Amino acid sequence: MARTGIQTAAMLLLLVVAPAINGAIASSIPADEPHPFEANSLHSKHFEDGEHNPQFDHEAFLGPDESKKFDSLTPEESKRRLGIIVDRIDEDKDGLVTLAELKNWIAYTQRRYIEEDVGRVWKQHNPENNDTISWDAYRKATYGFMDDLDKDELETEENGISYKSLLKRDRYRWAVADKDLDDSLTREEFTAFLHPEDHPTMKHVVLQETISDLDKDKDGKISVDEYIGDMYRPSGEEEEEPEWVASEREAFSKHRDLDNDGYLNEEEVKQWITPHDFDHSESEAKHLIFEADMDHDDQLTKAEVLDKYDVFVGSQATDFGEALARHDEF
């Protein structure tokens, strides 16, 4: 099997399913449980192997693309640029960043990332900037190589993913996003296709894809081992499970499996990944204020943000990501 193709396809799958699964975690566990802000960004888990992952906060605060640019900077330059951002976040220019202002900023960075991501892929598949992209054109550009593969190559799985299953998934998602049923997508429809987790009309697609990914034995429900297997795989038979895995097993029983039958059904998965009361931007804003609010007044001064700059952004000192070119806006 061509490894480049399957790895690319697997990454595309991760970018859609992971946020939907993990973005719901915070709201479904009571406040007295550990890690109340646990969630997932587009690329990294907030709490991975039981440890806080600061890259999650950097991506939530800056957006995935912009956070990488900070990772190449010196701490001094990171602080300088962060100071400019703080001035932008402070909407009423009173010298304080409130929860509402920080929430608005985080929501803005997520929208910006989606718009830029869609713009890149739209241009890639539609260089002439036509009003729509047809399914045939998209399939040829993305999956055309499959025409030269035999049946075994198409159906061979890596981590439960095959070329055939990915094509089937994309075909169904395309059909749901295609509101006017012409088998071509406008830019708005294409946005729903690429980022279904952010479109209310696509929530059922995300739900079905999540269940499909976790339900390894295809019995239509998620066992505790399937639930844990998505987060943790032991390196050997004798490896002892970390404490955080035991906590997740308890969370499955106490907070996910609402009817106590030992499995998650479709409704329970839905309440887990798309809870009604969860706002990712607000949750992340609360977390950042908690980390940096030294005087405990539930708002941040510029000095507090800069003092805890490594909570908000990366730098060469934090050694995250790859070095990218300096951004003109700074």
What is the model's pTM? Answer: 0.71
Give the closest residue to 170 by CA, choosing from 145, 190, 150: 190
Give the dihedral of Cα atoms 6, 7, 8, 13; nearest 10 deg. 90
Q: Supply the pLDDT for residue 45.
A: 56
pLDDT class of 224 with cuts at 50, 70, 90: very high
> How many Å is the Cα radius of gyration of the chain?
21
Residue 63, sorted as left (phi over 0), alpha (psi -120 to 50) or beta, turns out to be left
Quick one: pLDDT band at residue 227, thresholds 50, 70, 90? very high
pLDDT in tens, 79-128: 898 899 999 999 999 999 999 999 999 999 889 889 999 999 999 999 99
| CA distance to 36, 238, 242, per residue, from 246 (Å) | 16, 16, 7
pLDDT digits (tens, 9 = 90+) for 277-305: 788 889 889 989 998 999 999 999 999 99
With tokens 């608005």, the residue in question is 104
